[in-house]
Amino acid sequence: MSEQAFASANVLLRQSSNDLGSFRDREYDLVLSTLSWEKRVTAAFEVLNRGIDELHVLRFSNATNPGANERKDEQLRLLTKFANSCTPIELDSSTSFSANVQKIDEFLQARVVSKKRPLRVLCDITCIPKSYLLLLIGLGFRKNYFARMDCLYAEGKYPLSKQHEASASLANSTGSITSEGVWESLPIPFFESESTIPNHRDVLVTLGGEVGLTLPFIEKYEPRRLGLVMISESEVQTPDKLPKSEQYALSELQGEPNVERVNLPLSDVIGTVKYSIDFCRRSSADTITGLAIGSKTHALALGIAALSQPRMEVICRIPTRYTTLDVEANGSVVGFEIEDRFEPNAYLS
């Protein structure tokens, strides 16, 4: 994939792979990452291969999981080889969203006040929960905290055998491959629809590998029209390889009235933004609900699309807790640049 660019509202989006040169040469006011239990937490910085003065890392509390805390301590040590200093931003559990919103907002606001201008930010989005990725976009471009937000994403290996084992073990429980407990809806701040009580609602879903739990989550919104964005490289493209329960859920989902499906590559944020905006423009509904269920890259696209669509809201699912599924990097790192087209500091090196 060569570099592509797309302008939407006040932001310009570029995406590229195989060449992260602009990310190596640019000066940043803030470099962010997230501690996780996944092996790929350092993969993007390994490929980027540049010096970083100060790296800030979001660290979500894991009070009930000492093993996860030990893994994060180790990752913090591993990340120090990429930066002169590595500073944790201590947060509550990732499911304690409201409390963490205030902490992240205060942290970013203090940085903006210190710099006396919007920030140039580099963010490794590989291991950040989708709700917090969208929060950063909202804070950055709705509250004018960011002049630009460059994102790195290290793609992962998701062996079908492991997913099927997880699906089988969770078939009779309220759990999934990456989460446990009932999914609750989490409206993302700064991405609310201008219509608070819509008469009609269309729903656009970015889907991952948890179709069974996604089906009832979608149905509660009673969509008049349903758009499904599926990952071109994912196992949903070969349904016969899915567990029977997932095959049934996928069949039910695609059998919904007024459903349309599009397959887009994991790394094609621009294509997903364009489709999302087109879906909104073709909708006569008061509200278009974007459900960010699948990949982080497609969630990123929903957020960028929503910046220009006043009828669009973005919703994430929030489980009781996340499972400690380890994901290894597959060696591919993609880059995305989101810049404020009207902010001069976006273009300064």
Question: Looking at the structure, do residues 124 and 194 belong to the same domain, yes or no?
Answer: no
Question: Looking at the structure, do residues 111 and 208 belong to the same domain, yes or no?
Answer: no
**pLDDT range class, residue 176, cuts 50, 70, 90:** very low
3 state SS of 267: coil
> Given a cut of 50, is residue 174 above it in pLDDT?
no
pLDDT computed for residue 173 by the predictor: 41
pLDDT computed for residue 288 by the predictor: 97
- How far is C-alpha 287 from the chain's CA centre? 21
Q: How many CB atoms lie within 10 A of CB 213?
A: 20
> Given a cut of 60, is residue 280 above it in pLDDT?
yes
Containing structural domain, residue 104: 4-157+327-346
> Given a cut of 60, is residue 310 above it in pLDDT?
yes
Cα distances (Å, whole numbers) of residue 159 to 123, 165, 292, 329: 26, 10, 22, 12
3 state SS of 311: coil
Question: Looking at the structure, do residues 21 and 102 belong to the same domain, yes or no?
Answer: yes
Write out pLDDT tens, residues 3-16. 689 999 899 999 98
> Given a cut of 50, is residue 22 above it in pLDDT?
yes
The CA R_g of the chain, rounded to the nearest whole Å, is 19
Write out pLDDT tens, residues 314-343. 999 987 655 656 788 888 999 999 999 998
CA atoms within 13 A on the CB side of 13: 25
| Cβ contact 187:77 at 8 Å | no
DSSP state of 237: G
Question: Looking at the structure, do residues 203 and 246 belong to the same domain, yes or no?
Answer: yes
> Given a cut of 60, is residue 126 above it in pLDDT?
yes
Of 153, 112, 122, 146, the closest CA to residue 30 belongs to: 122
Question: Looking at the structure, do residues 52 and 146 belong to the same domain, yes or no?
Answer: yes
Cα distances (Å, whole numbers) of residue 107 to 80, 216, 263: 21, 37, 38
Overall domain count for the chain: 2
Question: Looking at the structure, do residues 122 and 268 belong to the same domain, yes or no?
Answer: no
Question: Looking at the structure, do residues 261 and 334 belong to the same domain, yes or no?
Answer: no
| CA quadruple 126, 130, 135, 138: dihedral sign | positive
| Cβ contact 79:38 at 8 Å | no
Tell me how far apart the alpha carbons of residues 256 and 227 are, in angstroms, rounded to a whole number. Answer: 10
Question: Looking at the structure, do residues 225 and 342 belong to the same domain, yes or no?
Answer: no
Question: Looking at the structure, do residues 90 and 169 belong to the same domain, yes or no?
Answer: no
CATH number of the domain to which 61 belongs:
3.40.50
pLDDT computed for residue 3 by the predictor: 64
Maximum Cα interatomic distance, the chain, rounded to a whole number of Å: 56
Q: How many CB atoms lie within 10 A of CB 310?
A: 12
pLDDT computed for residue 234 by the predictor: 87
pLDDT computed for residue 1 by the predictor: 45
Question: Looking at the structure, do residues 93 and 195 belong to the same domain, yes or no?
Answer: no
pLDDT computed for residue 181 by the predictor: 56
pLDDT computed for residue 323 by the predictor: 60
Question: Looking at the structure, do residues 293 and 252 belong to the same domain, yes or no?
Answer: yes
**pLDDT range class, residue 162, cuts 50, 70, 90:** very low
Question: Looking at the structure, do residues 35 and 150 belong to the same domain, yes or no?
Answer: yes
